Every structure is written in structure tokens, then in C-alpha cells.
Amino acid sequence: MLVNVSRTPLSPTPRTLVNRHRERGQTDRAALDDVLDSALICHLGVLYDGQPVVLPTGYGRDGDTLYIHGSSGAKSLRPGPVCVTVTIVDGIVYARSVFHHSMNYRSAVVLGTTRLVDDPDEKMHALAVVTEHLAPGSWDHARLPTRKELAATNVLALDLTEASVKIRNAPPSDDDEDVEANTAWAGVLPLTMEWGVPESASTLPVPEHVLKR
Amino acid sequence: MLVNVSRTPLSPTPRTLVNRHRERGQTDRAALDDVLDSALICHLGVLYDGQPVVLPTGYGRDGDTLYIHGSSGAKSLRPGPVCVTVTIVDGIVYARSVFHHSMNYRSAVVLGTTRLVDDPDEKMHALAVVTEHLAPGSWDHARLPTRKELAATNVLALDLTEASVKIRNAPPSDDDEDVEANTAWAGVLPLTMEWGVPESASTLPVPEHVLKR
């Protein structure tokens, strides 16, 4: 069982205090787990010679640890200060004014310093966590990593101790005068991710864990 | 007409050279425009006291300029070195081995230093670009920004001169031995974003630009 439930509160540090739209800030640690478990990819922010660089990558969560992985040759997979951000857009908020246009979304921002996972057992476990996040069922279905493949892969761990979560899930918030004027439509256009029909590259039947996703 | 077509080649600098999976790197400038025009939000990487911070935000492109906007009080909306990354996940690639699991995706990474847009005409134009990217049709439909709203909004401009684009759009690439063994399914599970049914917050009929999105 890879999914744990955390019961710690989400206590912001000055670096993760929600300043803009404080009403969207979440204080329940479960909100962080929910957002991390619901999104598919993260955006990893690292520092190259004083320049912030943001790269999309897969990840997985196990309890209070977030794992990311990639080629052992990748510069972005070296341990150091990072920001991992996960965002799910749930809809576009059309307001009566351009100014109040917005999005309904769930986002998590995790700050910290990554640790290189070099213990073989933890590394294998972390790869299971990342694989099961990206492609649930694949860890038991596909061929597991060889020693050579493990050597070609870096895994980084990030503690989920310093994080903020923002959620907007509401109709447009227009000014009273614009509501009264009633000259422009307002509402939310929901947005969802939909799985399509599997495109098979195999003579085998499509397995349940793919079909039922 | 807000959308321009650029015919410049995409010439990487050492900072934007694609190192991992070079076959996924694109050299055609049109690929950058395509990715930027297809995604909904970007992830903005900035630097706070030596710590990379990544925040999701709206954006828009006009020719060779990317615009982002936000509250004039937001720390992330001050001019400086940034990375703007845009990612569209098109599917999960299930391989016969865990190691070759992957994603089909389109991503763009833009590096540079942002410029605060203070010319009133450019600022208004930039807000139109950003609004039309998020909610096409809204600039002509909704109430335009007042002077007070403009003062509460910062707009940053970023030149699209230093960027890289990576695209993976292919079936799984398994090792020959795994294909021959034929013990695990392989294929692609496509992923698309779907607009739902508009949730009206108005007595007016849902306008065409929302209905037909």
C-alpha cells in the first residue's frame, strides 16, 4: 500500500505564507496530500548559475516524502534547493469585468532541499511510488528495473514540511455595480482531463489497469 | 488580430540546449509558438533570496513577446531573471519495462529577464493578449479595466529569444528483448483536456465564445 494519510497540520513558514488571495490558502495538511495525489506531473524549479530553471517531471508521494526521478546525467536531478509546484486547473472563471477573470484551480508549492536517494531499498521503493503515480498498476505488470537501469536513474527525495496550498473553487466574484449593470455574462467553464482510447503497441490485450483508468 | 506568426529559427544558447533526449528537441521557431499558444497556463520560476520559487500563472503571447500579469503587490511580478515553462501532457506511455515508461508531451522553457510594462498603451494591449489567451472573446464581451484596476495590476514582458521546446509524440520505445518476451502490454493512453458545461452565474444567456470553446 503506497498511499499514506498524513494528519500533520500544514504550518506555513514565512517563505510559504500565502500573501495574495489569503482566502485561497489551505491550512489542512490533507489538502496538500489531495493536490499532490490528484495531479499528474509537477514543475521542478532549480537554480543554474543564479538563473531559475523550471522543468516538468513526474513524481510520487509516500507519506511525508515526495520523490522525483530522472536520468542520472540530468543536471536538474542533482540534490539542492528546489521548488516543486503542482497545479490542476479546474475551470475558467468568466467575470463581468476583465479584471475579475480568474481560474478555479488547486495548487501546491513545496520548498526544500532535495536529498539523493542512494539506499537501494529506498531507491526501489521510490521508483515504485513514482511509477504508480504516473501509471498505476505498471509496477506489478511491467518488467522491473535492472541493476544497470537503476544506475542510470537518479532519485531525489523532498520532505513535505514546507509547503503551501491554494484552492479556488467558486463562481466569479464581480463588483456590485457590474452585477447590477448586467451587461456581460459571468460563470465558470469547467475543465477536466479525460483519458482516451488506449493505442496499443502490443499483441497482448489492454490490461485492466489501463482500460479502467 | 492578436496572434502573429514568427518565422525566426529557434536557436538554442548553451542554457537552452536540449541535453537529455536530444531527439525530442525542436529547432523550428513555429514549434515554440505552437506550444505556447496551445497551453492554458505557465509555471513561472523566480528567485527569492537564492531559493527558486515556481508559481502557476496565466500568460499570453504576441509575436516574440510573452506577457504575464498579476497583482502589483505580488513579489513574483517584479522584473528580474525568470524561467517560464509551459507543458501539455498528451498521454501516458506504458512500456514493457518500468524503465521505459514515459509521457507524450509538448513543453517549452523560456529563459530571460522580464521587463515591467509601464507604457499605458502596451499595458492595455498586453492585458488584452493575456485575457484572450485565458478566455478568448472576453476582451470584447466583459467590462474593460478601469484606471484603478490597471494600477492594481503589474504586467511583465519576456522576450522569446532564449527558449527550448521538447516534444515526445511516439509509441513506447522498448528494448528488443522485452518486445520479444512479450510478457507485458505496451501502448499509449491519450490524455486530453475537455471543456464541461458552463455553470452560469448570470441571468444572461451563455455567449457564443464560451459555448463554442
pLDDT of residue B1: 32
Q: Is the pLDDT of residue B9 over 90?
A: no
Report which of residues B105 and A1 the model is more confident about: B105
Which one of A82, A142, A171 has the shortest CB-CB distance to B98?
A: A142
Better-predicted residue by pLDDT, B28 or A85: A85
Q: State the smallest CA–CA distance between residue B56 and chain A in angstroms.
A: 7
Residue closest to B94 by CA, chosen among A17, A136, A73: A136
Of A45, A107, A198, the CB nearest to B53: A45
The residue ranges of every structural domain in chain B are 14-175+189-211
Q: Which of A1-5, A23-27, B46-50, B144-148 has the highest mean pLDDT?
A: B144-148
Ramachandran class of A90: left when φ > 0, alpha when ψ lies in -120 to 50, beta otherwise: alpha
Q: Which chain B residues contact residue A194 at CB under 8 A?
A: 191-194
Q: Compare CB distances from A111 to B51, B97, B181 and report the shortest one's residue.
A: B51
Q: Which residue has the higher pLDDT, B114 or B5?
A: B114
- pLDDT (mean) for A185-199: 98
Asked if the Cβ–Cβ distance from B204 to A198 is below 8 Å, we say no
Q: What is the pLDDT of residues A72-128, one digit of tens each?
A: 988 888 999 999 999 999 999 999 999 999 999 999 999 999 999 999 999 999 999
Q: How far is B32 from chain A (nearest CA, A)?
A: 15
pLDDT above 50 (res A156): yes
B14 band by pLDDT with thresholds 50, 70 and 90: confident
**pLDDT at residue B50, as a whole number:** 87
Q: What's the rounded mean pLDDT across residues B72-90?
A: 94
Which of B55, B142, B201 is opposite residue A109, by nearest beta carbon? Answer: B55
The residues in B 134-153 lying below 8 A from A, measured between CB atoms, are: 134-135, 138-139, 141-146, 149, 153
pLDDT band at B10 (very low <50, low <70, confident <90, very high): confident
The CA distance from A8 to B138, in Å, is: 42
pLDDT for res A5: 42
B118 Cβ partners below 8 Å, 6+ apart?
none
Q: pLDDT class for B12, splitting at 50, 70, 90?
A: confident
Q: Give the pLDDT confidence score for residue B106 in this predicted structure.
A: 97
C-beta atoms of B191 and A195 within 8 A: yes
CB contact under 8 A, B182 and A202: yes
The CA distance from A60 to A32, in Å, is 13
Query: Residue A169 pLDDT more than 90?
Result: yes
Cell of B35: 506550444
Q: Which residue in the block uniquely carries the three cell numbers 514543475?
A: A43
- Residues of chain B contacting residue A74, judged by C-beta atoms under 8 Å apart: 19-20
Class of domain B14-175+189-211 (CATH, top level): mainly beta
Distance between CA A198 and CA B93 in Å, rounded? 10
| Residue count of chain B | 213
Per-residue confidence (pLDDT) for residue B54, from 0 to 100: 97
The phi, psi pair for A28, rounded to 5°, reads: -95, 125
Q: What value does the mean pLDDT of chain B take?
A: 93
Q: What is the pLDDT of residue B15?
A: 82
| pLDDT of res. B25 | 85
**Taking 80 as the threshold, does the pLDDT of residue A22 lie above it?**
yes
Q: In A, which residues are within 8 Å of B127 by CB distance?
A: 98
Is the model's pLDDT at B192 over the cut of 90? Answer: yes
B46: closest CA of chain A, how far (Å) = 6
Q: What pLDDT, on the 0 to 100 scale, is given for residue A8?
A: 58
Confidence of residue A27 (pLDDT cuts 50, 70, 90): confident
A22 touches B: beta carbon within 8 Å: no
Is B167 touching A (CB cutoff 8 A)?
no
φ/ψ of residue B178, rounded to 5? -70, -35
Nearest to A199 among B127, B149, B188 (CB): B188
| Domain A14-175+190-211 class in CATH | mainly beta
* The pLDDT of residue A195 is above 80: yes
Residues 172-201 of A with CB under 8 A from B: 172, 178, 181-201
Share the mean pLDDT of chain A.
93
